[in-house]
Structure 1
Amino acid sequence: MFGKAISDLMIKPGKSPVFETPDQFGLDYEDVTFKTSDGVTLSGWLVKGSTDKVIIQSHFGVQCSRCGFTQEGKGMMKNALWTSDIHFLNQAKYLVEEGYSLLMYDLRNHGNSGKGKTPWVTWGLEERKDVVAAVNFISNHEQYSDASIGLLSICMGAASSTFAFGLEAELKANPKVKTMIAVQPLTYDYFVKALGLPSFLVNSGNKYNKKERNVSLTGDSFLPYVKDISVPTLVIQNQNDPMTNLDMVQQYFDSLTVEKEMLILDLEKKRGAAYDWLGKNPEKIRTWFGKYL
């Protein structure tokens, strides 16, 4: 069935193993689990730096986990995103060296985390509950309860955080959350267009999504909720990213009503270029978080 096959391509999480651990990067950490408001058990690492400043990282979706992206097991798709593995522990290392602790966790249906009520990617709508759960975990943690929190929200992580600010009053009201970096926010429609599929296949997939999987991913997605983001936000975008629409990213930025900044990168023409850049170029990330945490 075309509809199911296209739906799987769009919203069924691919192989997203936790393929490395912080100790391989010389980092001290502990394994943690915590529950969302709808009962999903999320799995993560608390990478230990100082106890007064914590970065919560939310990764991109479908083929990613807390530690990043591995080409292993991706078959013909392995070079579609990037030409090698992407190691999110690279940014963990330089942020710990700067004095931060990090909570790196797997979104529902990814990595070692549990399945949601729907085992599909919802492009941030259900995953917003994971962001709130992560923030609450740190806010209520005995060692970190007085910490200031920064959000490092990548692609679907940015979508999830944006939905959370708009739909979860407790996040917006939490005074411990001080700032966010949104890396390449992307609405679902442009992601699908980037797959290069004929419109009849896309329509078939979307029809199956809605009818059989109760997932509707058409329209503006999280964009109406950008105005609800209540903390200073840095938006990072590779101008050569083939999977996005720069006018949409500009709309995201323009809709922010807080102190904000846009960092446009000139990188290779692949979606994953900015994610790889993130772990290798600490200066702007350090400067932004250092200003607000």
Structure 2
Amino acid sequence: MADSVTTRLLDTTAESTIESLASGLGYASRSPILRTPMNQGLGYEDVSYPSSDGVPLEGWFIPSEGSTKLIVCMHAFGFNRYGFPSHIEPWKSAFGPGNDTEIDFNLDYKVLHDAGYNVLAFDFRNCGLSGDANGNRMSNNRFETRDVIGTLNYIRSRSDLSSMTLGIFARCMGASVTFRAIHSDPRVFDDVACLVAPLLLSPRVFVEATLESAGLSEYVDEVDRRFQLLTSKPLADGNVSDWAPSVTMPTMTYGVYDDAITRPYDLEEAYVSLGATEKEMFWIEDATARWDAYKYFQRHPKRILEWFDTHMK
């Protein structure tokens, strides 16, 4: 009887984890915008413009007086332009131990602004306050590439922004989306001077790491099967290293070496595969929380600012 109950409980746990991973990756979930640039004393303009397929996107333009340089900032999966409210539930429990303090990207925008950069930050479709699209599905960043292209088109449509030197600071999903967008339409990025793309992550690697930590490694293919039923694509369609050869502008990336929800080889393979001749990668060590990488720039801005300064002269 005890063995039967144990088996039944294990099956229930496995089912819950498998379904949560498949649906969690296949469908977008919105998190609230709790702060604005005004919380850091920054003036800003609310902006709205269409993605390349017409989905309405919402964002902030934060001007830096006298500057002719603009950095486009892109957020991570489940986040929005503000960041992520992981200091309160249900978001506090979303990404595991250590990833449970607030992420406020307005601190990053303050650093960039004070360093002489204009900033444009926006919500991807199905995130923040941007429009619903594609049945709320997130299929290995295929749809979100249209948001990146739409953002660059919007910048070029504004007479006050179109001649600015462009850089991109894109984290996690934002970084992967940018890689895929460059791969799909490289000409759109001809005038982008450089890219900072931390926390690149392939979805199958995330699933493998998550199931391994739960003692359920044998169910990777089952998660993949269910994800494909939801999105029409397998997890492997999101492998970042497949798009990296198309990324030829100067590119910096970094991550947490002991990040519990990924594996170092995934980021390393993407870095090696980069088509850029000018590239840089570093690890944040003595940490296991992915959140340490999200907060790295606001805590230690020098190295990344030097990258932007060098390539956006």
> TM-score under structure 2 normalisation?
0.86
Shift of the alpha carbon at 1:92?
0.3
Give the counterpart of 2:288 among 256, 260, 269.
Answer: 269
| Equivalent residues of 1:123, 1:156 under 8 A apart | no
1:76-132 CA distance string (max 9 Å, x none): 615626231011111100110011011111111111111222412223222111111
**Where do residues 229-240 of structure 1 align in structure 2 (5 Å cutoff)?**
229-240=247-258
1:165 alignment counterpart: 182
Distance 1:266 1:254 in 2: 20
Distance 2:218 2:126 in 1: 28
1:119 alignment counterpart: 136
1:179-209 CA distance string (max 9 Å, x none): 0001110101111123225256543333233
Give the counterpart of 2:48 among 14, 33, 55.
Answer: 33
Distance 1:136 1:277 in 2: 30
Distance 2:237 2:153 in 1: 30
Q: SS of the residue aligned with 2:163? A: coil
2:169 alignment counterpart: 152
Larger helix share, 1 or 2:
2
2:6 alignment counterpart: none
Q: SS of the residue aligned with 1:183? A: coil
Computing the radius of gyration over CA atoms, which structure comes out larger, 1 or 2? Answer: 2
| Equivalent residues of 2:60, 2:122 under 8 A apart | yes
Distance 1:288 1:75 in 2: 32
Q: SS of the residue aligned with 1:137? A: helix
State the one-letter code of the partner of 1:31: D
Which stretch has the larger CA shift, 67-76 or 42-51? 67-76
Which stretch has the larger CA shift, 249-258 or 2-11? 2-11
Extract unaligned runs of 5+ from structure 2.
1-14
Distance 2:230 2:308 in 1: 42
**Where do residues 168-247 of structure 1 align in structure 2 (5 Å cutoff)?**
168-172=185-189, 174-175=190-191, 177-196=192-211, 198-199=216-217, 201-218=219-236, 221-247=239-265
Which stretch has the larger CA shift, 201-210 or 33-42? 201-210
With over 3 angstroms needed to count, the CA separation of the structure-2 counterparts of 1:212 and 1:266, relative to structure 1, is: closer
1:74 maps onto 2:94 in alignment: no
Which stretch has the larger CA shift, 195-204 or 105-114? 195-204
With over 3 angstroms needed to count, the CA separation of the structure-2 counterparts of 1:165 and 1:218, relative to structure 1, is: same
Shift of the alpha carbon at 1:279?
1.9
Which stretch has the larger CA shift, 23-32 or 218-227? 218-227
Distance 1:100 1:213 in 2: 38
| Equivalent residues of 1:45, 1:104 under 8 A apart | yes
Give the counterpart of 1:53 among 69, 78, 85.
Answer: 69
With over 3 angstroms needed to count, the CA separation of the structure-2 counterparts of 1:267 and 1:96, relative to structure 1, is: farther
Distance 1:291 1:54 in 2: 14
State the one-letter code of the partner of 1:60: A
With over 3 angstroms needed to count, the CA separation of the structure-2 counterparts of 1:76 and 1:144, relative to structure 1, is: closer
Which stretch has the larger CA shift, 279-288 or 52-61? 279-288
Give the counterpart of 1:42 among 33, 57, 71.
Answer: 57
Shift of the alpha carbon at 1:265?
1.4
With over 3 angstroms needed to count, the CA separation of the structure-2 counterparts of 1:119 and 1:149, relative to structure 1, is: same
Shift of the alpha carbon at 1:4?
5.0
State the one-letter code of the partner of 1:67: Y
Shift of the alpha carbon at 1:253?
1.1
With over 3 angstroms needed to count, the CA separation of the structure-2 counterparts of 1:123 and 1:212, relative to structure 1, is: closer
Which segments of structure 1 move beyond 3 Å, counting only runs of 4 or more?
A: 1-6, 199-205
Shift of the alpha carbon at 1:41?
0.9
* Alignment: residue pair count: 290
Identity of counterpart residues, as a percentage?
A: 26
